[in-house]
Structure formats: C-alpha cells, structure tokens
C-alpha cells in the first residue's frame, strides 16, 4: 500500500499538474481543500486536471443580459444542466450530502459524508475529512486508510512521484502525515488557519492564521518568512504554479506575497467584504469578488506590480458570487453564483461568458 500511495505513475503527470485549475471559494487546485457548503452551487474547492477551457463568446443578446445584470439574477442563455465539463478532467465538489467526484461527461459519484477534500499531487487519490477523521480514498470511493484525530480541517496533499505528505489542522495544531497514513507528527502546536503546500519538490508549507502568515521548510522546521496579517480567520490561501507568489485573503483584505515575503499587491482592509479571491497560475494576475450594496463585483488585477496595480471590473451581479478559479492558461475565470443557481465561466479579457444552471440539483 505504501508504494501504491506514494509512487504515482501517471502518464505526463507533470503536464497534468501544470494544467490543473485554480480555486472556487477556497481553492480549486490540487493542493487546496474543498469545504462543504450549503448546496451544490456553493462549491468550496475543485480540482480539474484539464487543458485550456473552450467556451462560447457572448452574442449581442447575451451582452445585453450582462448590461442588465443589476436587474436580473442569472444569465438568460445558460445551459440547463452540467451535461459535461467544459474541459477534460474531473471536479471535486463538496455539498450537503458530502464530497462528490464529477467526471468529464457530467456523471457524479458520491465519495461519502465528508466535509472537506483535496486531490493527491497527481490526482490519483483524494484526502477527505470528517469532524474527527482524516481519510485517503480512491476516486471511486474505496477507502485506503483512515486516521482519527480531533477537529480535523484544511487538508493539503503534496509531494513527488515517490514521496507525498498531507498537512492538516486539528485541535493540537498543524500536523503532517505521510501519504500512506504513517508517521503522523505535530509540526506547529496550537496553530489554526488554512494550509497550502508550495509547488515543487521542496517541502515548503504556507500557514495562514489569524494575525500572521508564515512559510516553513517542513523538512527541518525552519521558518522561511513571516508576515503580519488580519486578525480575522483567513478565507483562502494559494500559490502560483511556479511557487513564486502566494495569495492570502481575509474577510476584508487580501495580499499577494513574493517568495521572500514582500507584498507586491495589497487590497484593503476596506468597508466592502471580499467574498472570494484567486491568484492566476502565472502569479502575474489576481481576481477577487467584493460585495457592495447587495451586489457582487468581480475585479481583476491583470498585472501585479509593486508600482502599478490597476484593477478593473469584469462582472457585476445581484446577490453573491462565492467562488473563483482560474483556467490553466489564465484566460478564463470560473465563479459560483448561488443566488442564480449557476456556474459562470468568464473570459478575463471580457470577450465571453458561459453559464451553467441548476447546479444545486
């Protein structure tokens, strides 16, 4: 079992990893967990090993719908159901009934009554959590191992072809366990928050907590850097695909850090809450959702630079947008729209949109 769980022989696994999507609500990359929301449309995290998304460009009537979006909840010309995914791969989704895997053809499989989930580094296994249990499963739901621990949250799985580790948080603090379920140990006592492994062979773990963000070398416990942050509980943490930038968001602020802990982008704190945030795979752009006067505004910073961070609005809709994820090439954003019961695929250059309805079913 150890060899099966730690050595993952997947054709073109590196390319598949690079092409993985980004985040919805809390994380939609292979390294981020998905927390169980109130219904299907409130996806917490999704992992898609996918090529670039293909979506339709808005027709003139479609553009008119966007112009009137302040008055109407939902995109009129939306697909009535998710008949298939818009790109090859699988979705990992949390719902009221538990964690599901959605295949390319739209078929779904319930893995079980779990709260959170995250893909293994190359998508062969899934780490899931209940209140007091961490488990490793195959995508068909077969359980490989379980580990009982009190108050488990924020699982994050990373590693190489021959050596993987899962970081998670329980009531004792931040813990690390091998991909085969052995060697569980306490890394940071008494620390809560959200976790994200830095991409690459080195075991660098970002820990976003109320009041501070830190990056650790897990191999020797060395602190790489530490930064002060909001005293609120973090809402998202994710790395760029090259590991050179880290996004951390809080209810009313977000920051993008570089590899040394410097901050090339800082937004807030402000009066408007930040409902979702996501860093582009390249690390050169960021997107975020703000809630203003009952409407959600999707903003993009197309080029993150210390001297010139100019944001523009991509989309405005009534109600709340609760999640964001970038396509691998950075051309598209996926947002969840619970009030409209839709998922939106939005071009970052404002040239197109594709909507899927009835996600809550």
pLDDT digits (tens, 9 = 90+) for 117-131: 898 888 889 999 999
Omega within 30 of 0 (cis) for the link into 269: yes
**Does 188 have pLDDT greater than 90?**
yes
Instruction: Write the secondary structure of the chain as one string of H (helix), E (strand) and C (coil).
Output: CHHHHHCCCCCCHHHHHHCECCCCCCCCCCCCCEECCCCCCCCCCCCCECCCCCCCECCHHHHHHHHCCCCCCCCCCCECCCCCCCCCCCEEEEECCEEEEECCCCCEEEEECCCEEEECCCCCCEEEEECCEEEEECCCCCEEEEEECCCCEEEEEEECCCCEEEEEEECCEEEEEECCCCCCEEEEECCCCEEEECCCCCCEEEEEECCEEEEEECCCCEEEEEEECCCCCCCEEEECCCCCEEEEEECCEEEEEECCCCCCEEECCCCCCEEEEEECCCCCCEEEEEEECCEEEEEEECCCCCCCCCCEEEEEEECCCCEEEECCCCCEEEEEEHHHCEEEEEECCCCEEEEEECCCC
Bridge partners of residue 15, in order along the sequence = none
pLDDT digits (tens, 9 = 90+) for 147-179: 999 999 999 999 888 899 999 999 999 999 999
Pick the CATH number of 2-357 from 3.50.50.60, 3.40.980.10, 3.30.70.100, 2.130.10.10: 2.130.10.10
pLDDT digits (tens, 9 = 90+) for 206-257: 999 999 999 999 988 899 999 999 999 999 999 998 999 999 999 999 999 9
Distance CA 339, CA 93 (A): 18
Q: Is the dihedral of CA 110, 130, 10, 194 positive or negative?
A: positive
User: Burial level of 360, CB count in 10 A (0-12/13-18/19+)?
Assistant: middle
Q: Where in the chain are the domains? A: 2-357
Percent of the chain with pLDDT over 90: 43
Q: CB count, 10 Å around CB of 241?
A: 21
Which residue did the predictor score with more confidence, 13 or 80?
80
108 pLDDT band, cuts 50/70/90, is confident
Distance CA 265, CA 246 (A): 10
Work out the end-to-end distance of the chain between its first and last CA atoms, rounded to an integer number of angstroms.
Answer: 37
| pLDDT value of position 2 | 39
Q: Of 37-51, 77-91, 151-165, which one has max mean pLDDT?
A: 151-165
pTM: 0.79
Which residue did the predictor score with more confidence, 154 or 333?
154
| pLDDT value of position 19 | 39
Distance CA 292, CA 200 (A): 38
């Amino acid at each position: 079992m150890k060899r099966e769980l730690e050595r993952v022989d997947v054709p073109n696994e590196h390319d598949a990893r690079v092409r993985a999507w980004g985040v919805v609500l809390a994380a939609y990359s292979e390294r981020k967990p998905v927390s169980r929301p109130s219904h299907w449309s409130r996806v917490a995290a999704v992992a898609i090993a996918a090529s670039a998304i293909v979506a339709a460009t808005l027709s003139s009537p479609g553009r008119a719908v966007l112009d009137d979006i302040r008055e109407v909840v939902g995109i009129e010309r939306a697909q009535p159901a998710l008949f298939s995914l818009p790109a090859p791969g699988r979705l990992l989704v949390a719902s009221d009934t538990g964690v599901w895997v959605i295949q390319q053809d739209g078929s779904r499989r319930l893995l079980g009554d779990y709260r959170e989930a995250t893909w293994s580094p190359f998508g062969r296994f899934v780490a899931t959590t209940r209140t007091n249990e961490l488990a490793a499963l195959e995508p068909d739901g077969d359980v490989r191992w379980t580990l009982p621990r009190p108050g488990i949250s924020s699982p994050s799985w990373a590693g190489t072809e021959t050596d993987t580790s899962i970081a998670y948080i329980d009531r004792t603090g931040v813990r690390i366990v091998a991909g085969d379920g052995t060697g569980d140990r306490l890394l940071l006592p008494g620390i809560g928050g959200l976790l994200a492994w830095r991409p690459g062979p080195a075991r660098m773990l970002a820990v976003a907590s109320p009041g501070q963000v830190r990056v650790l070398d897990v191999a020797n416990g060395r602190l790489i850097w530490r930064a002060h942050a909001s005293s609120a509980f973090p809402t998202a943490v994710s790395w760029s695909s090259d590991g050179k930038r880290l996004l951390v968001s809080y209810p009313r602020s977000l920051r993008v850090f570089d590899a040394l802990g410097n901050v090339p982008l800082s937004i807030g704190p402000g009066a408007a809450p930040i409902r979702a945030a996501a860093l582009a795979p390249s690390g050169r752009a960021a997107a975020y959702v703000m809630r203003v006067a009952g409407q959600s505004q999707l903003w993009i910073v197309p080029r993150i630079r210390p001297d010139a961070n100019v944001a523009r609005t991509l989309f405005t809709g009534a109600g709340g947008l609760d999640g964001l994820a970038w396509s691998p090439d950075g051309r598209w954003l996926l947002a969840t729209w619970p009030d409209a019961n839709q998922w939106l695929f939005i071009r970052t250059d404002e040239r197109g949109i594709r909507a899927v309805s009835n996600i809550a079913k």
